[in-house]
Amino acid sequence: MRKFALSFTAISLAALLSGCSGNEAQDPHVSINKNPYPSTYKPMEQLTILIKGATVLTGTGEMLSNSDVLMVDGVIKAVGSKIENGSATVIDGTGKFVTPGIIDVHSHLGAYPSPSVESHQDGNEMTNPVTAEVWVEHSIWPQDPGFEAARAGGITTLQILPGSGNLIGGRGVTLKNIPSPTMQGMKFPDAPYGLKMACGENPKRVYGSRKITPSTRMGNMAGYRNAFVDATEYKREWEKYERDYAAGKNPVAPERNLTLDTLKGVLDGDIRIHNHCYKAEEMSMMMDLAKEFNYHAGTFHHAIEAYKIADDLAKNNVCAAMWPEWWGFKMEAFDMIQENAAVVDSYQNSCAIVHSDSDTTIQRLNQEAAKIMYRANDAGFKIDEAKAITWLTLNAAKSLGIDDKTGSLEAGKQGDVVIWNQNPFSVYAKAEQVFIDGAKVFDINDDAYQAKSDFLLGQD
């Protein structure tokens, strides 16, 4: 009888195991669409353009005198001397400068549009310290006249970010600066999403004033860590689901969570961090946080004390996007130097960027970079135009993960080009013509290429 009982138990166990062996019919596979709001961008009329005899700042650290730039089918075909193309529209570049299109990695256009009225202030979801579930693209008003003003300043690409009131404020989006009635018509195809985070005073002030966490910098750090602990578990659950499903089992998919979808995207390497952070010790802690949870720390924005840790930024391949002279408007913004970007740039493998965070400064980022170049050289650095333009072009493209497509004048890259009436680092410089993907989107001398927002129609 004992022997029979053991045999019966063994048979029952075998039957139970067979039910988990993958023979059970599988439910449909559950997957998450990582791009549910895809770009609908279509280039405007692409022209074959040959710019002849200009001074060319390539964005790669070179300045070429009396050189040509050829754009064909929306891309850079050639850069050099004595280039010919019989079907091209030729632009005389004598006395002019040609640069890659300027890229602003930190803008709020469309989410904090002009005219500025409270009912349209849609860039800061300050209802929870962690709002990784929100996407700023869902707040963007593409009719913001600021886009046209930025285009006249040579801006061809810009990242729109949510504000900095939260520890984790939501996703940013990279746009091509073309006229469009929809955000998706501006959306840069295949550009990685960014995640806005914020250190320091902003989140602790916003939530501390409500008597909830965080109210201190240690509360800030605990908030980031808790968020990424949850994201780590969420990632593990989804990875187990995928393994089990691939093995033929019929697992139950994890419950969907929009906040954790975004944070998991960071852990998976699909979403880049863009972190509002001023102080050196906080930037160092945020790099340590990234190491704790095995993601890349991305780009520090504003980064007023970046000069203090420039060697660590370079060693960790972390970018710093900086102003030339904004300082003193709060305690964490006091310890600045005007040579900040130049110090960051001085290290091998560095990634110094000049950004705006302003609907007016974005119109003259070339002059913002010029301020830094002047102050740095006055202090003994040797920064020339060929180097300074990288702060607005190739380094910015690296930060956004689009440097394989734009940011420099190299064969095969997108035809994002600006023709300046003179040295772009002069206070008198103006962008005369601007091209995006080889299509003219601005011409200072031709009203046909000076798009007006629907909001402005009839106001002349």
Tell me what pLDDT residue 65 has.
98
Q: Give the C-alpha separation, 170 to 137, whole Å.
A: 10
Residue 14 has pLDDT above 50, yes or no: no
Mean pLDDT confidence for 198-215: 97
Residue 433 has pLDDT above 70, yes or no: yes
Tell me what pLDDT residue 459 has.
64
Mean pLDDT confidence for 195-203: 98
The continuous run of DSSP H or E covering 372 comes out as helix 365-378
Q: Give residue 229's pLDDT band: very low, low, confident or very high (50, 70, 90).
A: very high
Residue 217 has pLDDT above 70, yes or no: yes
Instruction: Give yes or no for a contact between 262 and 195, defined as CB atoms under 8 angstroms apart.
Output: yes
Tell me what pLDDT residue 17 has.
44
Average pLDDT, the chain: 94
- Dihedral pair phi/psi, residue 294, rounded to 5°: 60, 50
| Token pair in block for residue 234 | 């969420």
Strands 319-322 and 299-302: parallel
Beta-bridge partner residues of 99: 418
- Model's pTM, two decimal places? 0.93
Q: Helix or strand or coil: residue 55?
A: strand
Q: Give residue 184's pLDDT band: very low, low, confident or very high (50, 70, 90).
A: very high
Encode pLDDT of 99-137 as tens digits. Answer: 999 999 999 999 998 888 888 889 999 999 999 999 999
Q: Give the C-alpha separation, 433 to 428, whole Å.
A: 16
- Residue % of the chain over a pLDDT of 70: 94
Neighbours of 119 (CB within 10 A): 5
Between 18-22, 37-41, 237-241, 363-367, the lowest mean confidence (pLDDT) is in: 18-22
Q: Give residue 234's pLDDT band: very low, low, confident or very high (50, 70, 90).
A: very high
Encode pLDDT of 449-458 as tens digits. Answer: 998 887 777 6
